[in-house]
Amino acid sequence: MSKNNKLQLIVDGIVKNNPTFVLVLGMCPTLGTTTSAINGLGMGLATTIVLILSNITISAIAKIIPDKVRIPCYIVVIASFVTIVQLLLQAYVPVLYESLGIFLPLIVVNCIILGRAEAFASKNPVGDSALDGIGIGLGFTIALTAVGLVREILGSGSAFGWKFVAGDGMLAFVLAPGAFIVLAYLMVIFRKLTKQA
């Protein structure tokens, strides 16, 4: 693959195959962890790290895994990396670990990761799989940060923790309904911008 194509792999993950806005995968963490821009960014990066590592590992061992047991094998690989990320976050960023809560172990059942393992990593060489992981992971991170930022601005009148409105914002946007509504409108804007609608 030429250098141009390699770059294309990453750009595709962010725009054409954006996991949140186009493929509509991994909705649970997208809605559940984006109460602020920082939380969205943290969840996005944690998922990206797991995605890159699992893509690399799975593409390296895909040939020796029997076809019938491949899904359980993939899940074990993914679950191991999730546990590693979980322990690292607990040790070094305990605040983020607390605020992501149950969604951290639930990265295991994030369909983006298993989906990329099955659709891309198991059929492509290690280098390309790593790039695919970076692209899709960045697309997911950007989407989560965007949802988190909008919810934080509307809901608490701050951006990345920097408060520019005194007092509370529109609390509904930090609570559950805001997540659905903000994601819906961002998805529409993304469709308009990329001329998909």
Confirm or reject binding of residue 27 to other proteins (CB under 8 A): yes
Mark 132-171 with x for binding to other proteins (rule: CB under 8 A) and - for no binding: ----------------------------------------
Minimum CB separation from other proteins for residue 190, in Å?
A: 10
Q: Is residue 88 a contact residue for other proteins (CB under 8 A)? A: no
Q: Report the distance separating Cα 24 and Cα 96, nearest Å.
A: 25
Binding mask 110-129 for other proteins (x = CB under 8 A): xx--x---------------
> CA-CA distances (angstroms) from residue 6 to 117, 132, 135?
18, 9, 10
User: Scanning residues 48 to 77, which ones bind other proteins (CB under 8 A)?
Assistant: 71-72, 75-76
Helices (H), the chain: 3-14, 27-32, 37-61, 70-92, 94-100, 111-116, 126-156, 176-193
Q: Applying CB under 8 A, which of residues 1, 95, 172, 194 lies at the interface with other proteins? A: 172
Select from 42-50, 60-68, 78-86, 142-150 the region that touches other proteins (CB under 8 A): 78-86
By CB under 8 A, name the one of 1, 125, 191, 194 that touches other proteins.
191
Residue 187 sits in the site that holds other proteins (CB under 8 A): yes
Structure tokens at 38: 């920082």
b/e burial code for range 16-38 (CB count within 10 A of at least 16 → b)? ebbbbbbbebbbebbbbbbbbbb
Amino acid letter, residue 74: Y
Report residue 153 as tokens.
Answer: 């601005």
Binding to other proteins (CB under 8 A) within 29-48 occurs at: 31-32
What phi, psi does 61 have (nearest 5°)?
A: -105, 0
**Of 39, 86, 124, 156, the one binding other proteins by CB under 8 A:** 86
| Distance between CA atoms of residues 47 and 19, nearest Å | 12
Binding site residues, other proteins, CB under 8 A:
24-28, 31-32, 71-72, 75-76, 79-80, 82-83, 86-87, 101-102, 105-106, 108-111, 114, 172, 175-181, 183-185, 187-188, 191-192, 197
